[in-house]
Structure 1
Amino acid sequence: MAGKPKLYYFDGRGKMESIRWLLAAAGVEFEEEILETREQFEKLLQSGVLLFQQVPMVEIDGMKMVQTRAILNYIAAKYNLYGKDLKERALIDMYVGGTDDLMGFILIFPFLSADDKEKQRAFIVQKATSRYFPAYEKVLKDHGQDFLVGNSFSWADVHLLEAILMVEEKKSDVLSGFPRLQAFKRRISSIPTIKKFLEPGSQRKPVPDDKYVETVRRVLHMYHDIKAN
């Protein structure tokens, strides 16, 4: 029997969090190797397992996978969260691409200066409410089902819920004008594996704090400034 997937990353969200979400949604237990020192990262680099000299890395099914999208594609396909045919997969990819774009604006947020954080917060909310959430509201209206693609739970649903919760951390009432997304959030949050992941004590990571930012900068030697969008 194959062992649990093992995730190599920092003790924070970053690019690994969507992988944690998808494994949790599939009901898959996983282990984590938390990177805290430059020496740990150097050891991984010297071993040759980081193909592009980057994390995230996930050990799964005898593979040492890098590149976030490749890892997510594999997990979604392995655990039947990637649609029933090529057309459904194309839609899932399209919707995940949209939420990826939105989440990218949030990914840089912890690394910004205080002034830039306020600008970025407004930018995130503006993009969410004028571009991304209207699109998903329309998808749900036109599709007329409980889920974004077909009539079954998929990676697209997981990713959208993750994005919604991230934006709500920036503005708690951001869904006030989107009734279908409000219902979607309640529906997907009540799926047993998701409900468990949202409970205290799960492997879901909290909002990134200063300690997380300092660790990432130190381990990756990331000393350059990051600017708001």
Structure 2
Amino acid sequence: MDVIGTYFQPGGLGLFLPGRCEATRLLLADQGQEWTEDVVTREIWQKGDLKNSCVFGQLPRFQDGDFILHQSNAILRHLARNHKLYGQDAQEAALLDMVNDGVEDLRVKYGRLIYQNYEDGKAAYIEALPGELRPFENLLAQNNGGKAFIVGKQISFADYNLLDILHVHLVLAPDCLASFPFLAGYVQRLNARPLLKAYLESEAHKKRPINGNGKQ
């Protein structure tokens, strides 16, 4: 079966690439939420009905009752507001937006490597990776000596997004956090959260490909 994405409902989401909304899955799982997930094959997508129903002609798509939302970061922020995962004040919210944008910048670079230049660019990408990870290490160091979350004292939507991008890079370059003790400890702490741990150890998670072309 040629799978190009998934469409989740209700209170779910859809994505054009299998891993694009993993941060939202992490958030939902850790917050004890349930969702359903339907496979979208290339054949279904090419029929056009689903594509035409999407605001920008692409997945992800989030649906909760009559409410429909597109764009993965908009979905993530919507859930953050609903579950009080957007910081304790306006200043923290702004810092979380900053972090999330930083994660998105790294995700775009990762996507270009995976889908455009994997064979020729992997070595150079891994060599440059410490420079991409250093800002996150520094932010953690500034927050309770690296023993807390990326911003503030409570977990946020940006933590789920950062955790996801760190997960995929640990597959790409297993030693990438060797020189970043705060990030390494951060991943271990978040992975050990009971509901997150159960999700990460589930067969559904383990069987889901990281990227649509099989590269990782």
Q: TM-score range by the shorter chain?
A: 0.7 to 0.9
Q: With a CA cutoff of 8 Å and minimum separation of 6, indicate the structure with the bigger relative contact order.
A: 1
Question: Is 1:100 equivalent to 2:104 in the alignment?
Answer: yes
Unpaired segments of 5 or more residues in structure 2?
1-8
Which SS does the other structure have where 1:6 is aligned? coil
Match of 2:27 in 1: 22
CA 1:19–1:108: 2 relative to 1, 3 Å: farther
Alignment partner for residue 178 of structure 1, among 159, 177, 180?
180
Within-5 A mapping of 1:48-197: 49-112=53-116, 116-130=117-131, 132-144=132-144, 145-197=147-199
Instruction: Return the alpha-carbon distance in structure 1 between the equivalents of residues 71 and 123 of structure 2.
Output: 30
How many correspondences in the alignment?
A: 203
8 Å CA contact retained: 1:23, 1:29: yes
Match of 1:225 in 2: none
Match of 1:216 in 2: none
**1:123-155: CA deviations, max 9, x gaps?**
43234301x321111111122241111111111
CA positional deviation for 1:61 = 4.4
CA 1:128–1:22: 2 relative to 1, 3 Å: farther
Unpaired segments of 5 or more residues in structure 1?
214-229
Give RMSD over aligned pairs: 2.3
**1:151-173: CA deviations, max 9, x gaps?**
11111221111111111111111
**1:99-127: CA deviations, max 9, x gaps?**
11111122244433xxx313332343234
Alignment partner for residue 208 of structure 1, among 206, 211, 215?
211
Instruction: Return the alpha-carbon distance in structure 2 between the equivalents of residues 110 and 135 of structure 1.
Output: 22
Instruction: Return the alpha-carbon distance in structure 1 between the equivalents of residues 31 and 25 of structure 2.
Output: 10
Q: Scaled by the length of structure 1, what TM-score is found?
A: 0.79
8 Å CA contact retained: 2:24, 2:160: no
Counterpart residue type for residue 19 of structure 1: T
Instruction: Return the alpha-carbon distance in structure 2 between the equivalents of residues 6 and 109 of structure 1.
Output: 28
Q: Scaled by the length of structure 2, what TM-score is found?
A: 0.83
CA positional deviation for 1:78 = 0.7
CA 1:33–1:91: 2 relative to 1, 3 Å: same
8 Å CA contact retained: 1:110, 1:209: no
Instruction: Return the alpha-carbon distance in structure 1 between the equivalents of residues 80 and 193 of structure 2.
Output: 17
CA positional deviation for 1:203 = 4.1
Question: Is 1:8 equivalent to 2:14 in the alignment?
Answer: yes
8 Å CA contact retained: 1:82, 1:89: yes
